[in-house]
Chain A
Amino acid sequence: MPSASRSQREPPAPGTLRLRDADLPWRAVEGEVVALDARTSEYLAINESGAALWEALAQGTDGARLAEILIERFSRERSLAEKEVDAFLAALAERGLLAR
């Protein structure tokens, strides 16, 4: 569900990966995700596999579960899935999109 769908947020448990709440509205559109980073005024488009990870991150998850999503839904080899998850998380972290 998009960023505005929940009325309250609890702080993430230690080890949980989650998207930043503030200033980051987003929508799932035709299988992809479109987001606006209001801190940088930058729009982001995330393709289908990235969108699956994004939606899991919006709810709070961990790296192992993200890799499982790529394996189960996108038929990735485990080693490739883990590599892609790491790269995706690094890209999000670099843009300051993950909760601390």
Chain B
Amino acid sequence: MNLQARIRAEPHSPLRATLASLHADVTAVEIITAMRRANVEPILLKGAAIALWIYPHGESRPYADTDLLVAPGERARAEAVLASLGFAKVIDDADTPGWRQAAHHWHRDRDGAEIDLHRSLVGVRATDQELWQVLCAQTEPLLLAGTSVRTMSPAARALHVALHASQHGRGMVKPLRDLELAVRVLPRDLWSQAVLLAERVQAQETMAAGLRLTPAGAALAADLRLPERHSRLTALHTGSRPAGAMSIEHFAAISGWRSRMWMIVRKLLPSRRLMRASCPLARRGRIGLLAAYAWRPLWVIGSLPAAVRAWRRADALARAGSEATPSRPPVERPPSSRR
């Protein structure tokens, strides 16, 4: 028998991924405890709430960050708590004109800890307040590293699993594995409850698109009589999504020439914060940042043809489904904000 301390883990190994998950759990407890002292009661999303729920014993679901949803009225206090713990916001709303992020990403240099502070979920059309009212009545306790934290009810988690799959489409393995397991192990009654929640937060279309990413999920979506139509944005999420395709969608969704001009300027000359978050070259000191800015317009122009083609495909799919793009698009997060 062997109990080994200070173990070594190869980069990219399952062991390294597991160690990162344990570290994320400890960070989550640290943050939640500090937020509670400031009278903020967040809801833990994903992470351990999924890994310990539907994954078979011994199968690892790696995660390296913490996702927390807070009440709209508690957001400022939650951000102050994060700042007091040494976290810094990676990208703010001002960095992404025409693009409302569902969560802001925070990073702590000291230990590399990461957190997404959610105000909404990708694919939800309800307002932040409406979403919070629904979800805060859909929670249950979870013991995380010895501390009782609040996570979503199984029905709300099932909905989130489908939304998360839709957010990343077929381009990311983990959300699809979550979905595959959730469809396999969760009872149909629970999915029916998830559909009711989806209706309340205006996310049926996204939930349906997420489920349809796997054959078993598609059968479940049909059984649940979920809508087959979907918006252009959802088609972009679940389909092929080259760089820039989402930006075209955001450009199409905003109104007013000033806003559109500002968005174009910001696409060609993003804030330093966004450049550093999205481009490794920009993190290599002042010269690297300048080089990244010089390269940026060429990259944007070079990305355009594929982006336009993807956007047109999504538009055609949405038109074929006879659904106009919603007047209030679902919120989302920039794919570049996660390091």
How many chain B residues touch A (CB < 8 A): the figure is 32
CB interface residues, A 6-25, toward B, < 8 Å: 6-9, 20-25
Q: Which listed segment binds A: B12-20, B74-82, B192-200, B299-307?
A: B12-20
Contact mask B17-54 → A, CB, 8 Å, 1/0? 01101110110010000000000000000001001100
- Would you give the shortest CB distance from B39 to chain A, in whole angstroms? 22
B143 touching A20, Cβ below 8 Å? no
Q: Contact at A7–B7, with CB atoms within 8 Å?
A: no
Whether A27 and B3, one on each chain, are in contact in the complex, defined by CB atoms closer than 8 angstroms, is no
- A-chain residues with CB within 8 Å of residue B130 when the two chains form the complex: none
A residues in contact with B52, CB < 8 Å: 1-2, 4-5
B1 at interface, CB cutoff 8 A: yes
- For B9, the closest partner residue in chain A by CB is A43
Contacts of B281 in A (CB 8 A): none
Q: Name the A residues within 8 Å of B21 (CB-CB).
A: 27
The complex places the Cα of A36 from the Cα of B148 at a distance, in Å, of 18
Q: When the two chains form their complex, are residues A7 and B58 in contact, meaning their CB atoms are under 8 A apart?
A: no
Q: Which residues of B contact A46 (CB under 8 A)?
A: 2-4
Interface hits, A35-91 → B, CB 8 Å: 35-36, 38, 42-47, 49-50, 53, 84, 87-88, 91
Return the chain A residue nearest B44 by Cβ: A4
- State A43–B6 Cα separation when bound (angstroms): 5
In the complex with contacts A25-B22, A27-B22, A49-B1, A5-B15 CB distance below 8 A: no
B22 touches A36 (CB 8 A): yes
Q: Closest approach, in angstroms, between the C-beta of A51 and any C-beta of chain B? A: 9
Contacts of B26 in A (CB 8 A): 23, 25, 36, 38
Interface residues of B (CB under 8 A from A): 1-7, 14-15, 18-19, 21-23, 25-26, 29, 48, 51-52, 57-58, 60, 140-148
